[in-house]
Structure formats: C-alpha cells, structure tokens
Structure 1
Amino acid sequence: MHKSLVLVAGAVLMSAAMVSARADEAAHATRDDLALTKFAENPDIVTPVAMTFDEKGRLLVVESHTHFRPDDYQGPPHDRIRVVEDTDGDGKADRFTSFYDQSDLTMGLELGPDGFVYVTTRSELFKLRDTDGDGKADQRVDLVKMDTKGWYPHNGLSGIIFDEQGRLYLGTGENLGESYTITGSDGKSIHADGVGGIIYRLDSDGKNLTTFATGFWNAFDVAFASHGRLFMIDNDPDSRPPSRLIHVVEGADYGFAFRYGRSGLHPLQAWDGELPDTLGMTSGTGEAPTGMVYYNRNRMPADLLGNLFVTSWGDHRVEAYKLIPRGASFTAKMTTLVDGGEMFRPTGMAIAPDGSVYFADWVDRNYKLHGKGRIWRLSSDTEVHFVTAPDFVPLTEAEKRAEKLRQSTDRQQLMQAADDRDPFIRQAAMLGLSHLKNPPRVQAQRLAGMDPKAVIPAALKSDSVEDRLTAVRWLADERLTELRPNLLEALNDDRVMSPRLFAGALAALEWLDEGKVDGKGATIAHYVADKLHDAKASDKMRAMALRAVEPDYSALTLDLLRQFIEDGDHALQLEAVRTLAAKSDPERFELLWTIASDGAMPQDVRAEAIVGLAANVEKYGPLLGQLAAEAPAEVAAEATRAVRPGAPDIASKPTTDQAAAWLKHVGEGGDPAVGRRVFFNPKLADCSRCHRIEGRGGEIGPDLSVVGQRGSRQWLLESILQPSREISPQFTAELLTTKDGATHMGIMLPLPGVRSTQTFMDAAGQTFTIPIDQITDRKLMDISLMPPGLAYTMTLDELRDLLAYLMQLR
C-alpha cells in the first residue's frame, strides 16, 4: 500500500473513532444555534408524507394510510390531509382535524397562489378548498390524470411547486418503466414509455401541459430558489449513487431512462452529464431525499439563508446545501442540520409563517404502514435584519448569458455557444437553436420535435462524434428498428469513432435486436467476435472492438492478441498490448516480456509491454534492469520507471497546498504518450486502479475519458494535489456504522439488481460487503479516497506528462 493510502486510512480511523452508533438515539440539531423540538407524534399523527401551510398559517400534513397497507391494518380506508395546530402556544400540537380524507397513495401538497391546496397522488393532481369555513375541503377540482398500469406507490406523480408567474411544475417518477398517458384539464395528453422521471409544466388550472425536463429517476420534490432557479431532489437508481440535487433548466435531459435498466450503468444512460446531450447534478445528497425547501426567511443563522434544506430518509438526517456558482449553474456544499438514528426517517417539509421549518418523520425504515409518526420543528433565536431585500445568490454573468441564449434568434451566436465548455451554456444554445427554422444540430432538432426518421440517417454520418452519439441515443430511445442498417453502417465507419460512441452504438444495436440492456446478449458478443476475426475489418475497428469488451473476454486469447501485435498496424499493436497487460492470465507476462525485449518492435509498443510487466517486478526486475541500461531511450526510460524503488525527490517538492509552486516546477508541455503509461503504471500513482479512460481501468472513481473538457491545467493539477478539495458527487465516500459498533469507510460500488447488501471499496482498494439492515448510521465524508500524496510518487517530468495526457482527453 502507498504510504499516502496509509495516512488516509489513519485519518479515517481517527474520524471514525469520534463517531458512535446512534441507532436508537433521538434526532438532534447539530448546531448550538438551532433548536429541534417535537411538535407532534403518534397516535395523533402517523406515517406522515408531505406538508404545507395554508392561507391561515395552519400546518397541513398528508397522513398515509394506503402506502403498502398490510392486510390487518386498522387505520382509515384512505389517506388523510390533517390540520395540525398548536392552539395554546406551548410549542406542541393539541388539535388534529381532517381537511380531506378521500385520496389514496397521496404524495405531494402545496398551497397555490389562488388559495387552493394542491394535492398529488401517484396518478392524480387536484386542488381543494374549504368554501364554507368548516375546516373541511368541500370543493375539489381535478387537474391532471395519469393513466397507467404502474402501481408502485411512490414513483408516479409527486413533487409540485409554483413559479412567480403562477405556473405549476409537477414531478414524476420512473413508473418502473410502464407506459403512461398524462392528461391535463383541457384534454391535452402526453404519452411516455420506458422513460425516467419527468418534470412537467402546466397552468394552475391544469391546462397547457408541457414537458419541461427529463432524465430523472424519481422527482420526489421540487423547489424554486432566487431568480426563478428550479431545483429538484432525485432518488438514485439501484447501482448509480448518489441521489442527486439538480438544477433544472428548460429542455434539459439529465440522463436516466428506465428502458435501459434499473442500474443506471448502461452506455446510453448518464447520471452526471457523461453523455454529450445531458446535464449533470449540482451535488449528491443523502440517500432517499424526500422533501426540500429553499430557505429565504430571516429566522435562521445567516450562513443558512439562501440554502436548500433537504430531508434524507435513508441517511436519517436533514441537510442544508449552500449553492456555489459554477458557470451557468452551481455546485453545492452540504452541512447536516439534524441527525438521528435508525428510527428517524424525515420526509416532507415546509417553512412556517414565523420562519421556522417543520418536517415530517416516517420513523420506521419499513415501507409498510406501521402506526408510527412524528412532526418536528427546527427553529432558531437568530433573527437577521435586512436593510434591503436580500439576494442570497445573485445571478452570475454566465447565467445571464444562458438565459439570453434560450431566447436568442441569432444563429451564429447560438452555433458558437453550442460548443462552449460549460454544458449549461451548450444546452441553452441548443434550446435556442431548436426555436429556429431548420435547426442545424441533432440535439436541437430533437428538442424541436422533428421527425427522427428524417433526421437520424444524416446525423449518423456527421463529422461530429457528439452529434453521432446523440443520434444513436435518439434512435435507441424510439427503438427505430427500420434504421438498423443506418446504425450498423455508422458502427462500421471508422472515419468518425470514439470508444464512447462505439459502446453506445453497440448497446443500441443490442436494444434494437434483443430488447436487452445488460451488454451480455448475443448481439454484442457476435459483433465483437466477428469484428476481431474479420479480415476485412480495419485495424482501427478491431482496436475499438478490443476496448468494447473486458480484457478477460473469452474471445481475446493470447494467440489472437499475439497475432494483432505481430501483424496489426501501429494503433492495433498498442491496443492489443494494452489489453494483454490488463488481462489476469498469468501467462501474459511471458508474452509481454517477448514484446518488451524485441528490438524490432516500435519503442512505444515495447514501453507499453513494460507497463504490464511492472505488475511482476519480482520476477522480471533483473531483465527490466538490463533494458534500463541497454535499450533505446523510450524503452529504457519505461524500464527504469518499472524498477525504480520508492518515490523520487520528495524533499525537493512543494507541499500539496502550494499549487502555484507545483505549477511553476512542472511547467508547460509534456508527452501525452508517456503520460498515458504513467496513468496505467501500477508502480506509480496507480491511477487506473480507480479511474477509467476509454474502456480501460477501474470504476471506483470518475471516468476521465473526457476530463480535458472540464477545466484548466491548473485545475487538473490541483485535483491531483488536493483530491478532497472537490469530490465528484457519486464518488463521495461514506462513513458507516454497523449494529456491532464497528465503523467502515468506502465508496459504494455500482452492482446491478435489487440487493439486501451493499458492497464498498476502501482506501486500500479492498472491497467489503455489509447487509443493509446492519447499517445504523452513514455519513458522507469530506475526505476523498484518492490519497493526497500521489504527486510524490512521480518525478516532475512524469507529472508533466500525466497532465499533458489528461488535458488532451476531450
């Protein structure tokens, strides 16, 4: 283990020592300037789901009596919307009455600008009003109906919110992939099949239903922050943590579609903007977020004003997210406001007229009705006095630019912005282009509702990899089997191809032919095997086929790889030897040594073989030492790297917090080819153990295939020096406490299927599995599993080369 890994593990253990299991501990505020009080509990309130305050300032709470109702359940036959009041001012609820009791699988509750109370069930949106003042709703107006065979209680209609113009935004879940038709009060319908969650926009009277944004798992709740910024909380798929806090913009696709499976790992799915026509998350959240409010009052500590408050049912806590501008969108920093044990399961929340925050508590992790429930009040004695109306998060210039692009008709301006580095600027430009006649880009053509059969054939011949991949995804989404020949032609076209496009096109072919999404169908196996053995296939396509399968794929025999290395062009030789180096077959080392010692082979091919031999220096060290002394420069340098003991020149290097000094020492330039070998060398930083590039490497950390698009050389260097400074949301480690009092730290691994256990990888690269019902506490950590000392394992030249390699990945 690297020394730096030991240091991280030690730091984790010290942190863990200060954390005790709290399975049975009552919820508590984590700050001295916050007060948490129990406002109500069972039997007065049970299994509460959502809440809002009405025009009179009374708390309305959805009390569920239909969510996985046991056969012997003794509660009311339908859900109830309860009015919960404190009539004597002692801080405890003492009056409980029913406002409405005729809905089932009730999910959302919101006071509308017209004074009505708006309600969602999994299949309906309606609004209620008490017209005679008796405290009970006597007027119901139906607004939206979802017709579907889907039945699961909480993945249909859900979160609702109004914008400043009085328009309503309605969140839906993935409906387990079942098709549905959603219809507004004016009869306008939208049909969806195999999609993920969607946010719809409509008028408050149920008319003018439109699709606002797509690509979610389950849009449990939505909230508006300042300047009309819409945010939502999204539960995560089976194998693609974390749950997401998302900045939602019109026309955007956030990557998930249920048709490609529950796991979230399919090549045509994205979770954090991995595909060119998708946007990523603002931040990861705690597990199973269920409620959210934007805090813009003045009765909380100043540092919490302008934060988004989120309840995490799965991690039994209430979180606050401070928005941090990033281009035309945001990242966010999370702090925990309320923490509890296993029997604390916060759900819906609402801000009271006095500025305090109320939230519901399901109490038990059991989805079935159980007769338990609580309502909590979070408050503070702090009162912030405003001289003028506050703007907690002012509009950035990038946001202003994005909004102008959405409304622009300047084709030249939009085309230029469509290739901007900021994905939110690119998406805004695509939306603007979609409003023009004959929009020129595939994503804009799809947004414009053009006929895919007319657009996709030409798009699959585009000179742009991004446009081709967008067309592939569109073709697969519509399952246009009649365009299979066009897809196959694009798949066989080595003129414009990338590993991501190749994987996406293969996955689309499998979906068209077999309706499968696991990558294990006959279509992919046959295609790859045929391509590898097809004498007419170009060496470039064979190289792509090598990347499309795991190194230990049965068709990739040592003899076949030897043939590619001996007879293939230079690119195929390199890919074959890299594949050979990544195999687990112990006999690979003999062939790798044959290549490394062959003076007739190109130097870079020999060097790649040496990278593979670095995993077995115990046996091949003396032979590599001879190459280091006698071979040509490139081969000798790689051999020297493989046998070098320990980390070089640590004393002469700056500390990791001195990024400017490092940048000065490293300088510009570098050799990307050498940098790639540094990346995959197990003797150095061992980057590929956790990170994947173009189909090769681990999947514990972020895929770096296009990392050069994300930021500057300095940003990349800082990410290596200080990995905990900015942790990608889905790779945030968790500190876990189990019922036996033990603590563990790791990143949850993406494994398919619904499971009773969860598997993690720790800082040493070791995996461990824990039954879910044994986990009593889990916390997101601000310490990255990527150790901070990796730069010390390299020479300055090697670090320069590594940066050059990573920066050219676009």
Structure 2
Amino acid sequence: RDTDADDQFDCVELLKPLDYQSRYGHGTNQVVLGPDDMLYVVSGNDVAFPEGVAADSPYRDPQDDHLLPEARDAVQEVRVGHILRTDLDGERWEVIAGGFRNPFDLAFNSAGELFTYDADMEWDVGLPWYRPTRLNHVVSGGEYGWRWGTGKWPEYFADSLPSTLDTGLSSPTGLEFGTRGNFPSPYRDALFMGDWQHGRILQVSMSPQGASYTCEYGVFLEGGALNVCDLTFGPDGALYFITGGRGSQSGLYRISYDEADGAAAIEAAVTKVPEDVNDDLVKRDQDAAAARDLRHSLEEFHQRSDVSAIDLVWPYLNSEDRWLRFAARLAIERQQPAQWRDRALSETRPRASTAALLALARLGRAEDQSALLSALDRLPLESLHTSELLDALRVWELSFIRQGPPSVADRARAVARLDGLYPHSSNYANRELCRLLIYLQAPDVIPRSVELIRHALSQEDAIFYSQLVARESQGWTDASREAFFDSLLAARRYQGGHLFGDAMLHIREDAIATLTNADKLHLQSRLDQLASAESDRQALPQAPFVKQWTWDELVAELPRAHQGRSWEQGRVALAKASCVTCHRIGEQGSFTGPDLTHVGHRFDERALLESIMLPSREIDEKYRLSRYLLDNGTVITGRPASVGANVLTIETNALPTQTIQVKRDEIEQTSQAEISPMPSGLVNVLTLDEILDLIAYLKSGGDPRASSYR
C-alpha cells in the first residue's frame, strides 16, 4: 500500500498464502478491487482453496459428478479455477464461484456485474469435451463446469451456468470495460479483451437478457507481433496495453481518443435509431435491471439459512430464466432439507419440479432416492421441451452419482421410463440417455448407440458414444461389434489436438480389452487393420539432409524474407521440415503442438527463426517436459500423457509416440526438463530460400496476399 500518497508502495503484507502446485501457469492471476470495496482474486485450476475459507461461501465443495467417469481421469482431488472475495485487510475469505480452467482477469461493468475470460484446453480440440475460450458472467455460487481430463461438463447441465460468449481458440489476457476510460459510445459501454495468441484486442458489446447478458464481439485492434499480455485504462482515459511474453519483444502502447477529430466521424458512422425502437431498448434495459435485482435478492440466501426463504424463493424455481432458476435452487439448497423436501417431491410444474429435485439429489441423502425417482417418473417426458428433458435427465444422473446405485426395483422403473426415448430427436438428449441407459444396463442400448455412431453428424458425436460403449463387455451382437470396429477404422480420418491421439487410443484399448478370444478371432481382419494403421501413423518419412545451418548464417539473411518470397515453396517447406506433423497453420497440419495460424501476430521474423533453430531457449510451459527421478535411480524425461490417482502415463517420445507407465509412489522427485519436445535441426533439410519462404509463410499466417509475396 501507499500510505503517504507519494506514489511509492511503502507497506507490503501477506494477506493469504495460496497453494499453487504446478508449472503450467494456472496460478493466481489477478487481484481486482470491486465496486463494493472488496478484493476479488482469480485463480486457475492449479490453486487449491485456501485454508480458513468461509464455510458459508456461495461456492462449496466441487465434485466431478460424472455418471460414467473415465478411469484415466482419476486424480487425487478436484481442483477448479475459482474466484475469491476478501476485505481489504484479508480478514474473511469466500469462494464466490468456480468451475473455471484458467481465467486471467476480472472486470465489473457499470451495473456492478462481474465477468471473467476463461482459457480453453486447446489439446482437446476435436473431442466432445472441448470447451472454447469463453467469457463468463460470474454470479454468486456460479458453477461453470470445468473439470479435469474428459470430465468437462456440457453447458446444458442444469447444475452449471453457460458461457456468455465463446471466442474459439484464443489465449485470454487482460479484461477492461470502457466505462473506465473516456472513449465515446459505443466504445464506452464495450468490454475490451486481450487475446495473446491471435495478437489482438477484442471489443465485446453486451445486451441485457433476463438476469444475464448476450454478447457479440469484433476485433478492436490487431497487428503483427501484437501479443497482448494485459490492458487497462489510465487516469487520462486512454487505453494502455503491454505486449511480450515467452522471449518476444515487449512494448507498452497507448490508444487515446481525439475528441476533436473523433466526434464528427462517430456522428457520421452511427445509424440514427428510430424513436419507437429507442423506447423498446429502454424498456428492455429496465426489465433486465429488474431481473438482475431479483437475482441479487435470491442470492442473499446463498450464505444464510432462513425459514422464510423457501416461500420467497420457490416461485422462481419455475422461472424461464436459467440464471434465476440457478439462483433460486442454490438458495433452496442452503435451507434445512426437512423444511422443503416434501414440497420438492410433490411439486407438479415440470420446470420447478426438476429444479427442486436437482437440489434434493445434490444433497446426496440415500434415504430420499426412491421417493425422488418416483417424482421423476411423474414428469411428462415425451412432451417436455428439450431443455426441460435435459434437466430431468441430469437429476436422474445426480441421484445415481450422489445418492448411490438404485435398488433393483428403482432401476427397472428407470429403464422402463427412459428406454422408449432413445434414440431421441435431440442430439444432447441422446448423449445423456446413452449415458443413463448404459449405467442402468438397459437392453439393446449398445446396438442403438452404435447406430448413432454410424450416422453421427460430427466426429465429436461419434467419439462421445464410442467412449461410452467401448468400455462395455455385455449387450453386444456380432453385427454391432463389426459396425463399431468399422467405425474405429473410419475414425482414422478424424483430426484433433495434442490429446486427440491418446483419446482415440484409449477407446481402441478399451474396446479390445472387452473382447473374448472368440470375438478377437471373429474380428481379426479389423484388428489387423487398426494395428496396421497405428504403425503407418508412427512411420515418419525423412527429407534428405541439406546443411547444418547456423544462427549467424540465417539471421543475416532474414531481411530477404520480407518480399519476393514464394507462397507455394513456403507451404511445401512447412511439410518438408515436419512442422505440420505437430502444428497447424490454417487448414494444414495437426493440433498436437501450438496452432501457428496467428504466430506472426505474436512474433517477428527474428523470433520465429529463433524458435525454430533454438527451441529450448523459450519453452511454452504447457509443452515443457518433466524429469522424473524414480526410487530405483532411473530417470525418465517426458510429458504426462495421462494422470491417474496412482499411475502416471509418461510420453517419452512424440515422433513416433512412445509411452511408459510409472507408479506415483515410485517417483522420488519431479523437476522441469530444460529440453524442448520440439527437436532442433529441423531446417537442416531445407535450402536457404526454402527457409526464408518458410519464415514468410509463418509470418503471413499462410495468406498468399501478404506483402512478403510481392
């Protein structure tokens, strides 16, 4: 703190130690002062809740809550990105929301509503559990569904809240509302978001919708080597941002508004809004403000037990607004179950019934299960809106997860109630019905699921069902086995991120593990084709050696990469140097390593050459290898491909893939390896002109219209 107003910090004190146990950068990212004069602290998923956090925190005790979890995802504890709130003296700490991956920053809008920008897991691209980088509206007790590995929740789960805006593959950094600056409308009401990966600042416009918002976004600023690390508005009203990171050139920039020149241009650009439309917008904003105020009144019961809360909150379990239902349901959960259990079981309105039963299921009391399942049976599932059906299916799942396996009679009743719905016209309903019916061991669920794989409209759908049925040993027919293994052969054309190959390998391993000897004999030709395909994938053709290039030789030639280059030769060089084996640029290549499509927006030509020739100088922490010292003295270097509660699967070679399993209790010490997984010398198979064409291709993002090709 600056206690004597001399612009120098003269008081430094530790408010709270936060337990960070990783090296991937998913730590404590930002501290922001809220409009309530409280400190808000945002942390990634490698930070545990601190000791002494308030027991009545709005967000408590996150669980994986998956009906059919992937065993390889098993970890020792559930850690999620979260947001803490504390007073200026750090006396009381609360967790207000969680279920994030690695949110970088926080920002409050003019209404005092909180937002964060959460990172995707780009290694999951192409898999059904991939979640794009997203802007989240953060509310009291908000659950946003990020979990480890394959366990990420779909956003239609009723016990979570959806994304407010998806921005796809991005690297979220700074976040700031224009209300802190002196920019005119529409910039004044916009949210500005830094995207390090694409070298740009996004401008988000928000429209109130019920108790939350909808958003649209566009590019406010972008350019070459504009890897934005953070941004803020200064006391002069200008937007300041800083660039750099991972060894690249850093810089501080300012964007200011020239009122004299800007007013006329804005006046000319803004379309005049008809008066009647303006009236509609005013009414919309008034209605939305009332809905947010109502949500806040419901949230007051998230941290206290009050018998009067039940009658006050209950009507909003039937709200069409998901954000109000979520706030109301959480308020009910905070009250004594004896005060509302019977009311939940007797509720007849479908939307209110599923919300109340969801609260009852989440309490995890086994003695309530049979009555809860009977209440679910009364719902008119066939006529429900898809969103209401999904809510009901989630209640069934949470009952089995938290209250335990059903009795024989309850199981039979659930199968009878759900079986006729599968397959459903809704893709998402099919996913949850498949999950439930496999858990309940319903007859013929496997052949029906295989048909969904065969007719899947996306690879993500096919992989979702494949992962579930692959682990099942019962319920197969010869025809369904044949069709399923044919689908695995067809899946060879699928593409995805760094973990995609592991996920598909696990599905194949699980499927083969369920086969009897007779099954293997029957499917021998298909199994041989799968094994042959894996061998072909691992075989990497080598281009002939040209020269052992040195840094000094090539850096002196870099000015020639600025013009007169060949786009086609650059594209060929990308493949010849094995870049596309791990990386993607545009529509070419793999998602195994970082996407290079916008790498030219982050790095200049010199930095690009350095990252190719000296890959170990700056290593992205997500791709850095680890060094494991075992209790028998063995040293293993690689990356953890799969992390289990007791076993690590370590990838010791990416080209071709080689793995080894190690028991966690055999590991004496883990440290960072200083060697990049990307080999050096890749350009030694290229001529000088090919290297310069490669640099130009990377800098341009593969755009043949770039100035380097003139």
Provide TM-score, normalisation by structure 2: 0.49
Provide TM-score, normalisation by structure 1: 0.44
Q: Which structure dedicates a bigger proportion of its chain to helix?
A: 2
